[in-house]
Amino acid sequence: MSIRDTTIIAALAARKAAAIWPEGVVARAITRHGTPIDVTVSGRGGNRMHHAACDGCGRSKDTPASHTGDILPVLLAWVDDHATTCAFLPRPTRTEGAR
């Protein structure tokens, strides 16, 4: 794969990441390759949890929400760190050359 191919793939991934967020996503980061890392919320009240998942490699992290419902700094730090280190792209939905 050439640098040009890598650049094109990153541009396409960034365009996908900038599209309308999936339902339930409350925050989104983009890896250096344009892959989204989405943060979703589950539960209610004191049982509310935030779940961050990378669309490229599938790694994820869960934390309880803060007492105000905000995303905890430890989860934001994980997302930020992962966005700069993850090298995976999401699996294509169709093969190259397919129409």
- Nearer CB in complex with Zn ion: 12/69: 12
Residues pairing with 52 in the sheet:
39, 61
CB of 52 to Zn ion, least distance (A): 10
- Nearer CB in complex with Zn ion: 69/74: 74
CB of 20 to Zn ion, least distance (A): 21
CB of 87 to Zn ion, least distance (A): 8
- Nearer CB in complex with Zn ion: 15/32: 32
Distance CA(4)–CA(69), nearest Å, equals 43
Site residues (CB under 5 A) for Zn ion?
A: 54, 56-57, 86
- Using alpha carbons, list the distances in angstroms from residue 30 to 3, 26, 64, 69, 94: 20, 14, 22, 23, 22
